[in-house]
Structure 1
Amino acid sequence: MTTVDLKTLQQEVSLLRAEGKYKETIEACYNLLNWATELNDYKAMLTAHINSAASFYCIGAIEEAFQSIESYDEICIKYGDEADALHLYNVLFLLYDYNKDYEKAKETLSKSIELGMKLEKFNIVSNGYSNLSHVCLAEGNYLDALAMASKGLEMAKLHEPQSRILELRVTLNIAQAYIGLGNQGTSKQLIDEIVHDPILDSFIREKSQAFILQGNWLSKQKLYKEAFESYSYAKELVESYNDVYLLKVIQEERSNICEKMQDIQLGYKVQKEYISLLNEINERELALTALKLDVTHNLSLIEKKANTDYLTGLYNRNHLETVTNDWLRQAYENDESIVCIVFDIDNFKSINDKYGHLFGDEVIKEVARTCSSKIDDNEMIGRYGGDEFVIVLKNTTLDKGKNRAEKLEKMIRNLQIDRDGSMISITSSIGVTSNSNGSILTFNELFHEADVGLYRAKKKGKNQIYVTS
């Protein structure tokens, strides 16, 4: 894949997410991340992680979203810029708000506001204060909610070009804070200004929130008939963009108002609508659970395919390198020994030349099946390429590694592979080495030492083991 192909894949990820195709986005992000890692393109890695996190959030897979954000943060610290940090804070806030972890949500928003001020991105600063106000409202802290929303309005007015909807979003929080503080006059004045603002015709979500807020105000004044009408209009608006969870809130309010008006017939009708909505929510949540399971399953298949050798089903070179590097790092910290065994099939080219490449593939698969059947939990086997295999052993000694290699050599020597009724025997040459008490820290170094041992075993006549230390 080229850099141009990588840019195309990044655009595909962004488009899929914008279209709400979250399952496809997550899978595309996984592919993007693999290619970005291959090309050391850190911006593309950030794109993959942030879109993956946002998509996981949208399907309710919060734990997976946090994992993506942690990976994003690690790369962002080393290679990201301030704009990348802002993306991080935006998604982190959503996750903390979802979990009702309001303290961390406020910490994240404070960082976003500070950075937004530095970059003079007043729309981001305004949204940050608006979200802080939202958190304070959720906590019932109306004074702080009012203070944060007022600062958000100041920042919205500094944004260029001027954005009326940006100002209205913050004003909604100001009005709600005044209702909480019992200031009905000021809150009514603000609500009247908002609901009559023509710009809301282009922003249906904000328009529905304005009429919900109006219904809230009217209900507190015991103007139940007017409140019911306001909530009913909000319901029509929300139905147009099908936010079932906001509809649930509206239907609960409409039901409460029917009870206060003692209108049994209307209350019965609203309750029927409410029950129908609950069934829809239940079906949607079941579908969401199924989607999460499907995404997890598909990612497992993609990951397995990415880490698996197509011919043998063993781990491939990339996975061997990734896991061994982790093992070597842990071994260095814990003063443990890692042993590497590298082996190949003697005279494999002659086998291919004499019997054909298809039989050669069968020989490789049979060796893989035989050797992998004896792998323990603290061991990993993979195909490095061609007829060359690697076994890495955790927390073991070089002597034990040599004993393991001797058993391996015997297993391969005892193999009888059928070729049109004739049984073909094979032998192997094996190199063994260790991480030399922590002095070797990468798979490439470890493999090289064992591969040198394999070369020397070949030079000494094949069908034997050579240990390097």
Structure 2
Amino acid sequence: MTEDLMLLQEKVTLLRSEGKYKETIEACQHLLEWGMAANDHKSVLVAHLHKIASYYCIGDIEEAFNNIGTYIELCSIYGDELDKLNLNNILFLLYEFNKDFNKAKATLEVSIALGKKLNKYIIISNGYSNYSHIYCAEENYEDALKMAKEGLDTAKLLEPASPILELRVKLNMAKAYIGLENFEASKSLIDEMINDPILDSFIREKSNCYDLQGNWYSKQTLYREAFESYTVAKNLVESYNDVYLLKAIQAERCKLCDLMNDVQLGYLVQKEYIAILNQISNRELELVALRLNIKHSITDIEKKANTDYLTGLFNRKYIEYTANQWLEQASITNDNIVCIAFDIDNFKSINDTYGHLFGDEVIQHVSKSFSKKFGEHDLVGRYGGDEFIIILKNISLSDGKIKAEQIEESFKSIEMMKNGLSISITASIGVSDNSGGSVVTFTDLFQKADVELYKAKLLGKNQISCGS
């Protein structure tokens, strides 16, 4: 099982790196189930992390936030420092997306502190660089410059040296200089970066440099030169198809055409801009369809994982998991929770006499008959074999017994025929409760109901026994 989990962890990581987010999320769901079954906390953490990141990448920020609560809770109990670092990196992306810059900065503080503790210079440098990026977005260019300098100093500590790590920090530094109207320092940095041969291997960073150069020229009212720089940036961005950056660049090129009073060029750029807007619109429609597709797939996977194949009722695993949550909450609120357990009388004899396929039919008829007596908020399931279980919230033991009587009554409507013979179906039923919150686990609650069920058998079957 451990080897299978490792392979599935690798599969999840690979799928996400390939940008196959739907497949990643579905694989994460399987990894979650297997990890929980094996009590492998690392697998569960990996599954949640990649689910969150994948939801972020398809723009489903709401679902990303929905999943992050569980990851935070698990991380606090089972996570190591690397897991906590991953958590902060994901939180930063989500907060930045929502323009919640205060929370984004708080996550960076934690990441930088953890990076220093682990002596991870890349993490520290990236943390300062992201800090600088946030300050630029807030137009706090003095603090943006301070953070960029911290990031650059940290990047230079790395051995062997990482020129691209240093260049990424310099991009924020140059942006801060432009914001501070220090055009000499910013130009020096921009020229240095553009002439760095490492950019031939990093097209995204190369486009960022020309985008920044366009901004520098524009601030100097050198509109023609700015337009040319933005055009180089546009051509580079088109090679890796970042439509949102393309939109921003094209908006700047449109403005520059107006400033240059070049109507003909402006017309052509405007057409390109409209084409990009249409492309973004189509992509967002595709993402909406993908999100809906993923939700349906996950719902289907969860349903299969939580239901019994023969009856369509909840399975033992789901009932146990959910009942434990209910009981934990009830121990605080003193709510009453009732457990009803029953099995079909003489079921072994039915199987031996009429065959297992007929036995399956009996189980299906029984499940359809009694489950109609319960609502969508009740836990109704098959425990195993011919034994069924129902967990009810906010109900007294006496009302639980009434529900058991309704189950007993439902058996009278079951008509089973085999070889021309009518076969009557009865059940022995046990009822118990959580004793005002003192029973806090499903195992203990079920054991109490099972004891009552056994008493009903001893009393001659087709009985209800209710614990006090």
Aligned counterpart, 1:160: 159
Between Structure 1 and Structure 2, how many residues are aligned? 468
Say if 2:218 is the partner of 1:211: no
- Quote the Cα distance in structure 1 between the aligned partners of 2:76 and 2:399: 42
Post-superposition shift, 1:413? Answer: 3.3
Post-superposition shift, 1:31? Answer: 0.7
- Quote the Cα distance in structure 1 between the aligned partners of 2:455 and 2:426: 16
- Quote the Cα distance in structure 2 between the aligned partners of 1:363 and 1:465: 20
Q: Deviations over 1:178-203 (max 9, x none)?
A: 11111111111111001010001111
Aligned counterpart, 1:331: 330
Aligned counterpart, 1:192: 191
Query: For structure 1, which segment, 109-118 or 65-74, has the greater mean C-alpha deviation from structure 2 after superposition?
Result: 65-74
Contact 1:429–1:465 (CA under 8 A) maintained in structure 2: yes
Say if 2:310 is the partner of 1:311: yes
Residue 156 of structure 2 aligns to a residue in which SS?
helix
Query: For structure 1, which segment, 131-140 or 317-326, has the greater mean C-alpha deviation from structure 2 after superposition?
Result: 317-326
Q: Deviations over 1:146-200 (max 9, x none)?
A: 1110110010001121001111111111111111111111111111001010001
Q: Deviations over 1:332-370 (max 9, x none)?
A: 211111111101111111111222111111110111001
Runs of at least 5 residues in structure 2 that lack an aligned partner in the other structure:
none
- Quote the Cα distance in structure 2 between the aligned partners of 1:392 and 1:118: 48
- Quote the Cα distance in structure 2 between the aligned partners of 1:79 and 1:236: 47
- Quote the Cα distance in structure 2 between the aligned partners of 1:381 and 1:84: 37
Aligned counterpart, 1:172: 171
Post-superposition shift, 1:221? Answer: 1.3
The sequence identity of aligned pairs, in percent, is: 61
Contact 1:331–1:395 (CA under 8 A) maintained in structure 2: no
Post-superposition shift, 1:79? Answer: 1.4
Aligned counterpart, 1:260: 259
Q: Deviations over 1:79-114 (max 9, x none)?
A: 111111111111110000000000000000011011
Aligned counterpart, 2:66: 67
Aligned counterpart, 2:2: 3
Residue 437 of structure 2 aligns to a residue in which SS?
coil
Contact 1:214–1:230 (CA under 8 A) maintained in structure 2: yes
- Quote the Cα distance in structure 1 between the aligned partners of 2:195 and 2:223: 21
Runs of at least 5 residues in structure 1 that lack an aligned partner in the other structure:
none
Aligned counterpart, 1:44: 43
Contact 2:338–2:431 (CA under 8 A) maintained in structure 1: yes
- Quote the Cα distance in structure 2 between the aligned partners of 1:164 and 1:319: 52
- Quote the Cα distance in structure 2 between the aligned partners of 1:21 and 1:138: 30
After superposing on structure 2, the runs of 4+ consecutive aligned residues of structure 1 that deviate more than 4 Å are none
Aligned counterpart, 1:379: 378
Q: Deviations over 1:43-73 (max 9, x none)?
A: 1111111111110100011121123222121
Q: Deviations over 1:373-415 (max 9, x none)?
A: 1103552210001110001111111111112111211211342
Contact 2:253–2:269 (CA under 8 A) maintained in structure 1: yes
Aligned counterpart, 2:146: 147
The two structures have a TM-score, normalised by structure 1, of 0.98
RMSD, aligned α-carbons? 1.1
Aligned counterpart, 2:88: 89
- Quote the Cα distance in structure 2 between the aligned partners of 1:136 and 1:103: 10
Contact 1:413–1:428 (CA under 8 A) maintained in structure 2: no
- Quote the Cα distance in structure 2 between the aligned partners of 1:68 and 1:336: 28
Residue 431 of structure 1 aligns to a residue in which SS?
strand
- Quote the Cα distance in structure 1 between the aligned partners of 2:7 and 2:282: 36
Letter in structure 2 aligned against 1:307: N
Letter in structure 2 aligned against 1:233: V
Aligned counterpart, 1:237: 236
Aligned counterpart, 1:119: 118
Query: For structure 1, which segment, 422-431 or 86-95, has the greater mean C-alpha deviation from structure 2 after superposition?
Result: 422-431
Aligned counterpart, 1:436: 435
Query: For structure 1, which segment, 261-270 or 456-465, has the greater mean C-alpha deviation from structure 2 after superposition?
Result: 456-465
Contact 2:373–2:406 (CA under 8 A) maintained in structure 1: no
- Quote the Cα distance in structure 2 between the aligned partners of 1:317 and 1:145: 55
Q: Deviations over 1:405-433 (max 9, x none)?
A: 11211211342123355432111101111
Post-superposition shift, 1:468? Answer: 2.0
Aligned counterpart, 2:464: 465
The two structures have a TM-score, normalised by structure 2, of 0.98
Post-superposition shift, 1:116? Answer: 0.5
Aligned counterpart, 1:223: 222
- Quote the Cα distance in structure 1 between the aligned partners of 2:244 and 2:375: 50
Post-superposition shift, 1:75? Answer: 1.3
Query: For structure 1, which segment, 328-337 or 42-51, has the greater mean C-alpha deviation from structure 2 after superposition?
Result: 328-337
Contact 1:414–1:425 (CA under 8 A) maintained in structure 2: no
Aligned counterpart, 2:411: 412
- Quote the Cα distance in structure 1 between the aligned partners of 2:125 and 2:187: 23
Residue 254 of structure 2 aligns to a residue in which SS?
helix
Query: For structure 1, which segment, 265-274 or 398-407, has the greater mean C-alpha deviation from structure 2 after superposition?
Result: 398-407
Letter in structure 2 aligned against 1:184: F
